[in-house]
Amino acid sequence: MITVTVRFFAGHRDIVGRASAQYTLAAGTTLGQLWEQLVTEYPRLAGYTGRLLFAVNQQFGQPSTILADGDEVAFIPPVSGGR
Amino acid sequence: MVEPFVITTEPLDPAPLAAAAQTPDDGAVVVFSGVVRNNFGGRPTAFLVYEAYTEMAVPVLRQIADEARARWPIGRVCVHHRVGRLEIGETAVLVVVAAPHRDAAFAAAAYIMDRIKEIAPIWKQEHWADGAAEWRE
C-alpha cells in the first residue's frame, strides 16, 4: 500500500470541503484511478472529468501516471477565464 | 533584486519589473497588466478572489517563459501574479517581456498570457455585486 496527499483547489475544495486529504491506495494505482475514486466519493466532482489537468509533486502528469508512496497529487480544475 | 516569477498577496507595480527586464540589448519592453474589471458580460462584479497552487504555479510560469523563448528571440521575462482579494481596478497579473525588437516582445507577451490562462494553476472567484460568488472555470 502507498499513501498520497491530495490537494484540492478552487471549486474542488468547495465540493470536498477541505484543502487536502491523505489516501491510502494499492501499489500501482494511477492518477486516473485515484480521480475515479474521488468521483465515487464526491459525485459532484464528476462534471470535471475530461477537463482537468493532473499533477504529481508539482509537475504535470497523465491519467496513466503511476503513484508512489509520499506523492503530492493535485487535480487541477480549469483555470481562470478572461480574454 | 526582482524575482522573475512570483505569486504574491502584495499589490503589483510594473515599474520595477520593466526596469529589471530591460538590458542594453533590448529595444522593446512590453508590459501587460491584467486588471480587475467591474463586470463580466454586463453582470456587475464586486471584487475578485484569486488563489494559486503556489509551489507549482511558480515553476509553471518559468516553463511558459521558456516556451516563449523557444519561439521568439526575446530577452528577460517577468511574470508576477497576485492572489487573495482584489478590488475593481487593481492589477491581478503583470507580464513583462524585453526583446531586441518589438514584434517578438508583443507576440511573446500575448503567448505567455494565453498560456497562463491555459495551464498555470491559478484560479479566479468572481464575487458578484448581488452577493453570489462562483469560480470561473
**Could you tell me the CATH number of the domain that includes residue B107?**
3.90.1170.40
CA distance A24 to A2: 6
A74 pLDDT band, cuts 50/70/90, is: very high
CA angle B53, B120, B99 (to 5 degrees): 130
Is B135's CB within 8 Å of A14's CB? yes
Percent of chain A with pLDDT over 90: 87
* DSSP for residue A65: P
ipTM metric: 0.91
Q: Are B17 and B96 in contact (CB under 8 A)?
A: yes
Is A80's CB within 8 Å of B122's CB? yes
For residue A81, pLDDT over 80 is answered with no
Residues with Cβ within 8 Å of A67's Cβ and at least 6 positions away in sequence, in order, are A2, A4, A25, A29, A30, A31, A34, A56, A73
pLDDT digits (tens, 9 = 90+) for B69-97: 999 999 999 999 999 999 999 999 999 99
CA distance B122 to B56: 10
Tell me whether B84 touches chain A (CB under 8 Å): no
How many domains would you assign to chain B?
1
Tell me which residue range forms the domain holding B109.
5-128
For residue B43, pLDDT over 70 is answered with yes
Around B47, how many Cα atoms within 13 Å sit in the side-chain half-sphere?
Answer: 8
pLDDT value at residue B64: 98
Task: Spell out the CATH class of A2-76.
Answer: alpha beta
Tell me whether B125 touches chain A (CB under 8 Å): yes
Which residue of B118, B120, B137 is in closest CB contact with A77?
B137
pLDDT value at residue B93: 98
Average pLDDT over residues A41-55: 93
Q: Which residue numbers of A have CB closer than 8 Å to B's CBs? A: 7, 9-11, 14, 53, 55, 58-60, 74, 76-82
A15 pLDDT band, cuts 50/70/90, is: very high
Grid coordinates given for A64: 496513466
More confident residue, A82 or A12: A12
